[in-house]
Amino acid sequence: MPDTIASASAATAASRSLAARLVGVLTSPRDTYAQVAARPQWFGAFLTVVLVAGLAGAGFTATEVGQRAILDQQVNQMEAWGRHLTDADMQQMEGMLPNYKYLAPIFQLAFFGVGGLLTAGAAFVVFSALMGGDATFKQVFAVVAHSGVVLAVAALFSLPLDYARETMSSPTSLTVFLPMLEETSFAAKLLGSFDLFRIWWAISLAVGLGVLYRRRPARVAAALVIIYIALAVLYAAAVSVS
């Protein structure tokens, strides 16, 4: 039955526009990913996601509020890792702040480019090389590129809230429900690793990989969530110990 559904969806994948595919990832992911698998056009989706996230980040970091929030985040991270900042360190960091509006698009290009290749490579190795799937790397990367739409929406949603709150702490992480936790505690770091948009992205990617490899998306999603939880626990433990 899954093969029949995927084949039928792919057969109707005539020439859906880029805009329709991007919206479809959010509204009808299963049908959209079936069309992406049939016609693995990745460049338009990749470029759109990078531009949206990059311009949103550039707009935020061009403001005084955004620059101050970035500085506060950097200082907190370094102090959490046990580094004592001197006046010279602070001056150097403050001098870099005006450049972040130019670096934001470059960072997003690296994030979605390198991150997308690593994600697609890992999925290709697991499902194609180890489990005998017949999808090509181009198909896998096209699915990963389209799933980035969720992360671009996350940037559009979160950055205005970051500006209003004058902080870079995620407004969609689970720590917003327990603000009384000590910021450097294991519980706070663990809950801070669970972001609602990242979970949505993982589920969306699982749907895409499930359609592409003709496997139940629920099983793929369960595997991705388990990996996500394991990485979050390791990160929280490392930061807490430091």
pLDDT, one tens digit per residue, over 63-102 is 999 899 988 888 877 776 677 778 788 888 888 888 888 9
pTM score, two decimals? 0.81
If we measure between CA atoms, which residue out of 236, 240, 208 comes closest to residue 224?
Answer: 208
Q: What does the mean pLDDT of the chain come to?
A: 83
For 173, list phi and psi in degrees, rounded to 5.
-85, 165
Share of the chain above pLDDT 90, in %: 43
pLDDT, one tens digit per residue, over 105-156 is 999 999 999 999 999 998 999 888 888 888 999 999 999 999 999 999 999 9
Which carries the bigger pLDDT value, residue 164 or residue 86?
A: 164
Say whether pLDDT at 205 is over 70: yes
In the structure, what pLDDT confidence band is assigned to residue 12 with cuts at 50, 70 and 90?
very low
pLDDT, one tens digit per residue, over 117-131 is 999 998 999 888 888
Alpha helices per DSSP H over 63-195: 64-80, 87-96, 100-124, 137-165, 186-193
Share of the chain above pLDDT 70, in %: 82
Q: How far apart are CA 222 and CA 184, in angstroms?
A: 29
pLDDT, one tens digit per residue, over 176-202 is 666 666 666 666 667 777 788 988 998
- Return the DSSP state at 223: H
Give Cα separations from 209 to 28, 142, 233 (angstroms): 15, 10, 25
Each domain of the chain, given as residue ranges in start order, spans: 2-241
Amino acid sitting at position 101: K
In the structure, what pLDDT confidence band is assigned to residue 209 with cuts at 50, 70 and 90?
very high
Lowest mean pLDDT among 95-99, 216-220, 227-231: 227-231
Distance separating the N- and C-terminal Cα atoms of the chain: 51
Which carries the bigger pLDDT value, residue 44 or residue 183?
A: 44
DSSP 34-83: HHHHHS---HHHHHHHHHHHHHHHHHHHTSHHHHHHHHHHHHHHHHHTTP
